[in-house]
Amino acid sequence: MASRHDWQLAVPDQLLKRLSIGSDNPKKLKAWADALPPINLGESAHQLYQFIQEFNQYQLHYKKRLPLLEIILPYVTHITASLGKHYLNRPLILPEKSRRVASLAQALHGHLANGYKLVALDGLEKIRDKDTRKMVALACTRATDLLGDALLRSHQLYFPVPNKLWLEIHQLYWLCEYHKIENVSTDNSATPRAAYLRTLLLATSRPNQLRQQELRQVYDAALEWTQFVDLTQDLNDNSIFATELNMDRAPIYASNVPTQHQGVRYLDTRPLVQHLSQQNQGLKGNAAEELSDPLLVHLRHAWSSPAERSFQRIKQDGELELCLGPRDAHFFVSGKVHFKQFVSRFRPQSISLDETNLNPYVKQQAKSISNDPWSQTLSPQATALGNSVDFSSITNSLIKSNTKDPGEHKVYKVKKENASPGGYCLNWQSETPLQLRAGELVALRDGDPDWALAIIRWVRQSNKGVQFGVEVMAPRAEACAAKTVRKQGDESDLLRAFLLPAMDAIQQPISLLLPAVGFQTGQKVDLFQQNTSTRIVLTEQISGTASFRLFMYQNETTQQEAPDTSPTTDHDQDPFDSIWLNL
């Protein structure tokens, strides 16, 4: 039977005979944790960090260690969630203080995972005991969850996955599988198998193509979805992914595994894809309630088959011009026309500027501009502040450094890495703006007078800076404006939109790009372009992200009456010494 030394799980040595902080008595430890200052995030994080480090080096029987870890777990979970406001929804290249806060969150989860790994390894000596088997299974589940949280945070920040993290996740599952406890659950916790599959689903969801909030949604939903995933030792025609339990790397496509060996496990996600197809058709279950349809489509593609490039990429040098977000894209595509001036074209010619305050139609236009969701969404103040109440000096400095004049429209020079007819791999080497994120709409120009419309498909950080891939949606586009037609109530807002030309190569007709919120198939829309307006019906959604939706449409006069689908209701030097007081 395998001993603790047969598993590649790193844990500290237990050399301490007493604790200088906290307690090894359950009641006293609970009282100590309850007394942590709730309004002083830095002090609470500091004490938890110090306690966990000492506790992992403290000599204690595994049956006494596990209950104490269970007491401290919710406090660590709360603190690490609170730390997120310092590094999430920030520029990709974080300031030093924000990077250290993110590292602190990683360290808290990593050290707590070490405590649970100690329980699992120490319990192997009595693994035939029924109670011990349950304790080892729970410890492995908890450790996997904590390492999974660290994995999620790495993807959210586009950081490289920490060394040995994948190896330890694999080893925890292999330990449970070897001792046949992978399906053991205690105290309403997940099983070790479910916790492991959850990390595999996150890793195979093409995480570098998703936004921070989307990654959190996928990770939260994945635990329920593990029931639709099959993990086997045998390769078959249904195997899409493979994971190697003795390797420090994420799962890969099964076709890329050179030979079968004892440590390979194969992942069949076809039943999950079928389940998501039903959810995408409106039959959403609990796990998918908060997931958008474009995200569900993305997941279905990610878990269906290996991604193949449509075009060969060619290395390129030089720079291209890039503007980020629909707001700036509309400005430059329209020929540097501000949206207020752009919509003034559609006002009655007899109305002078001095008369606008007396005209209700013109007032509506002013309201429409101020309520433009694209304009507000891309405001750094809106994206940075969120609903938080108490911001530390770190956060305040972040907000100040990223605030810009909302009326300013920027064009960036970005270095090209390689290119193809379908897009570019680009490298951002300076401070990154908030809008640089997966799924964002951009306009780019590579030596041509026309601006091409594109989407950021993936982002990752490297020693060269921030690399990101953009897919060109159309070599040129027409800036326009649109608003939904309401049967009653106030007139809807006039919003930025783009007309994309027909793509004969993929048999796609002229399409209309609209904000992600407020538009859906079957709606009637007033489209304003080149001093004219046309009433159209959105007939089919082609694609979409958290930023936009792309629709096919027909003129109302050529469209049969569509059903109204409008919604009816709206001990060495502490590496974190410099940040405790700033949290």
What whole-number percentage of the chain has pLDDT above 70?
Answer: 81
User: How far is 566 from 521, CA to CA, in rounded Å?
Assistant: 9
What contacts 463, CB < 8 A, 6 or more positions away? none
The larger pLDDT score, comparing residue 54 to residue 356, is at: 54
Look at residue 262 in the predicted model and tell me its pLDDT: 85
Look at residue 386 in the predicted model and tell me its pLDDT: 31
- Is 223 a residue whose pLDDT tops 80? yes
Closest CA to 243 of 155, 147, 143, 169: 169
Average pLDDT across the chain, whole number = 82
Q: What is the mean pLDDT of residues 220-238?
A: 92
Look at residue 369 in the predicted model and tell me its pLDDT: 41
Under DSSP, is residue 533 helix (H, G, I), strand (E, B) or coil? Answer: strand
Q: What is the mean pLDDT of residues 376-395?
A: 32
- Is 378 a residue whose pLDDT tops 50? no
- Is 538 a residue whose pLDDT tops 90? yes
Look at residue 364 in the predicted model and tell me its pLDDT: 39
Look at residue 363 in the predicted model and tell me its pLDDT: 36
User: How far is 460 from 441, CA to CA, in rounded Å?
Assistant: 17
Over the stretch 458-515, which tens digit does the pLDDT of each residue have?
A: 998 877 789 999 999 888 899 999 999 887 766 777 899 999 988 765 567 889 999 9
- DSSP E strands in 269-422: the ranges are 314-315, 319-324, 412-420
pTM: 0.75
Closest CA to 498 of 372, 257, 327: 327
User: How far is 267 from 251, CA to CA, in rounded Å?
Assistant: 9
Q: What is the mean pLDDT of residues 323-347?
A: 88
Closest CA to 363 of 347, 349, 376, 350: 347
The label of the residue with tokens 């399906």 reads 183
335: which 2 tokens? 């020929």
Helical residues (DSSP H) of 157-211, grouped into ranges: 165-178, 192-203
- Is 572 a residue whose pLDDT tops 80? no
- Is 375 a residue whose pLDDT tops 50? no
195: which 2 tokens? 């916790």
**Helix-helix angle 130-156:165-178, to 10 degrees:** 160
Query: If phi over 0 gives left and psi between -120 and 50 gives alpha, with beta otherwise, what is residue 264?
Result: beta
User: How far is 194 from 184, CA to CA, in rounded Å?
Assistant: 10
Exposure of 223 by Cβ count < 10 A (0-12 exposed, 13-18 middle, 19+ buried)?
middle
Over the stretch 409-423, which tens digit does the pLDDT of each residue have?
A: 899 999 999 888 788
Over the stretch 238-252, which tens digit does the pLDDT of each residue have?
A: 889 999 999 999 999
Please state whether beta strands 314-315 and 423-428 pair in parallel, antiparallel, or not at all (unpaired).
unpaired
The label of the residue with tokens 């007032």 reads 363
The larger pLDDT score, comparing residue 349 to residue 500, is at: 500
Over the stretch 262-293, which tens digit does the pLDDT of each residue have?
A: 899 999 999 999 998 886 565 555 666 678 88
117: which 2 tokens? 């790994």
- Is 533 a residue whose pLDDT tops 50? yes
Q: How confident is the model at residue 400 (pLDDT cuts 50, 70, 90)?
A: very low
- Is 576 a residue whose pLDDT tops 50? yes
The larger pLDDT score, comparing residue 118 to residue 317, is at: 118
Q: How confident is the model at residue 379 (pLDDT cuts 50, 70, 90)?
A: very low
494: which 2 tokens? 């006039």
Q: What is the mean pLDDT of residues 102-115?
A: 96
Contact (CB, 8 A) for 72 and 52: yes
Please state whether beta strands 423-428 and 465-474 pair in parallel, antiparallel, or not at all (unpaired).
antiparallel
Q: How confident is the model at residue 310 (pLDDT cuts 50, 70, 90)?
A: low
- Is 99 a residue whose pLDDT tops 60? yes
Sign of torsion, CA 490 494 498 501? Answer: positive
What contacts 255, CB < 8 A, 6 or more positions away? 306
Look at residue 24 in the predicted model and tell me its pLDDT: 96
- Is 205 a residue whose pLDDT tops 90? yes
